[in-house]
Amino acid sequence: MTKWVVILVIVAAVGGAIWKIRKNSQEQATNNTRSMGMGDRPTPVMTSLVEKKTMPIYLTALGTVTPYYSVTIKTRVDGELLQVNVREGQSVRKGQLLVQIDPKPYEAALAQAEGMLVKDQATAANANAEAARYTALLNAGVVSKESQQLQVSGAGQAQGAIAADQAAIQAAKVNLAYTRIASPIDGVVGLRQVDPGNIVHASDTTGLILVTQLQPIAVIFTLPEDQLPQVQEVIRHGGKVAVEAYDRSNTTHLASGTLLTLDNQIDTTTGMVKVKAIFDNKDGGLFPNQFVNVRLILQQRPNAIVIPAQALQTGSQGTFVYVVKAGLPPDSAAEPNGGSGAPAGGGKRRKATADSGSAPAPEAGGQGGAASAPFYVEARTVKVDLTEGTQIILASGVSQGEQLVVDGQEKLRNNARVVPRNAAAPAGTGGGKKVGHTMADSPQSSGTNAGPGDAGRTGGTRP
């Protein structure tokens, strides 16, 4: 009896194990089927078109907006501040009255000097008459020569007193004029430093008002001494060097101006040279002491092939981009040319494959195409010429009008199916670089996505 119980237990255990193995196999097959289905789905990506346009080649620097003229209004005479004739923040013209100081003491001093002049003129008239009489008496032999010379000297002193009185009158008029302070420049009035009713002195260190010229306005920035020859070369050829100012984030264009001058020496402690640019600032986009990013444009390169920096990827075979193509991917597969890094494109295509040219640009925010017009990507090697901010100038690899993937590359491989959508145009081109950088030293996308010869490898994270 015990023997039969043991046999039944063994049979039940073997049956349970067989059942469990079959169940696991079925679940694995189901999961594989689902995974294959998921892998065949097209990947949504954002795309942008390759452009051919004129691109500026520029140097970048950090600058500070500086008033072209800035005047601190101070009094040159002592007295009570009667009134301030302008509002804070008001635009003023050269010669416009700003401040009035009590003129009464200086009017009195002028009247006193004028009265002294009248007195001395009367004294001088009498002295001249005495000198004339003594001269006549001397000629008649009535008085001595000494007496005559004494009278002539008195007449000369009277004339000297008149000249001194006239100078005193002029000084009094100058002091009286100083009680009315006018703007020496066209500009904008700052915050008032002294209120009416206060006694102001010529010795005060604090000014009354600050007047700042905003149109035009200047920007002062620095450049490394290594970049100085490039700027001097443009100046020597008589060309105006254009300068553009961007905001702190380096995305919003604030103003355009021209290079005014270079400093006459290089700072030995930093190896930098100061540069001054001037801007019309008609719209008031620049404000004194504002921090700006400056682009010093050295040349305009025509017919440059330009792509967004987000489209550029780096793999084991170098730099490449994903070009969107219309149709179904080639049957050959996943590895382009056996992983050699050359652009894929060989092999037969499936039945009903569309034209292998570049994909037409889909509508913004819409699907890249209907079910009858699928898309895939081709990993194509490119050669970088220059990197200018968030835009890259290519020497070769793509053509104008082709669609490039700018977002979603980490999920792609060569010949992967995609659903393209148009990406929004970049808001601006941030941070530049030195002119003359090559592909080796140009900044690339921080991702490490698979290159043209690395099909099947998953990409790194996008920047």
Do 272 and 224 touch, CB atoms closer than 8 A? Answer: yes
The distance in angstroms from the start CA to the end CA of the chain is 75
DSSP 4-71: HHHHHHHHHHHHHHHHHHHHHHHHHHHHHHHHHHHHTSPEEEEEEE-EEEEEEEEEEEEEEEEESSEE
Q: What CATH number should be reported for the domain holding residue 289?
A: 2.40.30.170
| pLDDT tens string 321-339 | 999 988 888 864 444 433 3
Q: What is the average pLDDT score of the chain?
A: 79
Same domain, 93 and 162: no
Evaluate if residue 404 carries a pLDDT over 50: yes
Same domain, 169 and 225: no
The torsion angles phi and psi of 461, rounded to 5 degrees, stand at -70, 145
**What pLDDT is attached to residue 20?**
78
Q: What mean pLDDT is predicted for residues 35-64?
A: 81
**β-strand 417-422 against 43-49: which pairing, if any?**
parallel
**What pLDDT is attached to residue 255?**
93
Same domain, 117 and 197: no
Task: Give CA–CA dist 80/159, Å, rounded.
Answer: 37
**What pLDDT is attached to residue 438?**
34
Instruction: Give a yes or no: residue 201 inside a domain.
Output: yes
**What pLDDT is attached to residue 69?**
92
Task: Give pTM, 2 decimals.
Answer: 0.59
The residue that leads in pLDDT, 8 or 55, is 55
The torsion angles phi and psi of 227, rounded to 5 degrees, stand at -90, -10
The residue that leads in pLDDT, 239 or 154, is 154
Instruction: Give a yes or no: residue 153 inside a domain.
Output: yes
DSSP 200-253: E-TT-SS-SEEEE--SSEEEEEEEEGGGHHHHHHHHHTT---EEEEE-TTS-SE
Give the count of domains, the chain: 3
Among 2-16, 93-107, 293-307, 325-339, the least confident range: 325-339
Same domain, 167 and 185: no
Q: How far is CA 43 from the centre of its chain?
A: 38
Instruction: Give a yes or no: residue 169 inside a domain.
Output: yes
Tell me how many degrees the CA angle 244-260-68 measures, rounded to the nearest 5.
90
Evaluate if residue 229 carries a pLDDT over 50: yes
Instruction: Provide the token pair at 355.
Output: 């034209």
Evaluate if residue 406 carries a pLDDT over 50: yes
Identify the domain boundary among 303, 337, 368. 303
397 pairs with which residues across the strands? Answer: none
Evaluate if residue 238 carries a pLDDT over 60: yes
Same domain, 205 and 83: yes
**What pLDDT is attached to residue 451?**
46
Does residue 296 sit in helix, strand or coil?
A: strand
Instruction: Give a yes or no: residue 173 inside a domain.
Output: yes
Same domain, 160 and 268: no
| pLDDT tens string 174-194 | 999 999 999 999 999 999 888
The torsion angles phi and psi of 22, rounded to 5 degrees, stand at -65, -40
Same domain, 165 and 147: yes
| pLDDT tens string 241-285 | 899 999 988 889 999 999 999 998 999 999 999 999 999 999 889
Same domain, 245 and 141: no
Instruction: Give a yes or no: residue 190 inside a domain.
Output: yes
Evaluate if residue 429 carries a pLDDT over 50: no
Same domain, 131 and 189: no
Instruction: Give a yes or no: residue 34 inside a domain.
Output: no
**What pLDDT is attached to residue 97?**
94
Q: What CATH number should be reported for the domain holding residue 90?
A: 2.40.50.100
Evaluate if residue 9 carries a pLDDT over 50: yes
| pLDDT tens string 190-225 | 998 889 999 999 999 888 999 999 999 999 999 999
Same domain, 238 and 258: yes
Instruction: Give a yes or no: residue 147 inside a domain.
Output: yes
Instruction: Give a yes or no: residue 96 inside a domain.
Output: yes
Same domain, 172 and 185: no
Instruction: Provide the token pair at 163.
Output: 């000249």
Query: CB atoms < 10 A from the CB of 34, how many?
Result: 10
**What pLDDT is attached to residue 315?**
83
Task: Give CA–CA dist 220/240, Å, rounded.
Answer: 17
Task: Give CA–CA dist 141/135, Å, rounded.
Answer: 10
Identify the domain boundary among 156, 178, 200. 178
| pLDDT tens string 115-132 | 999 999 999 999 999 889
**What pLDDT is attached to residue 112?**
93
Evaluate if residue 462 carries a pLDDT over 80: no
| pLDDT tens string 130-142 | 889 888 888 888 8
Same domain, 204 and 279: no
CA Rg, the chain, in Å?
44
Burial pattern 72-103, b for ≥16 Cβ within 10 A else e, equals ebbbebbbebeebebeeeeebeeeeebbbbbb
Identify the domain boundary among 303, 318, 351. 303
Do 62 and 248 touch, CB atoms closer than 8 A? Answer: no
Q: What mean pLDDT is predicted for residues 64-78?
A: 93
Task: Give CA–CA dist 176/77, Å, rounded.
Answer: 9
Give the domain extent around 199: 74-101+181-210
275 pairs with which residues across the strands? Answer: 221, 262
Percentage of the chain lying above the pLDDT 70 cut: 79
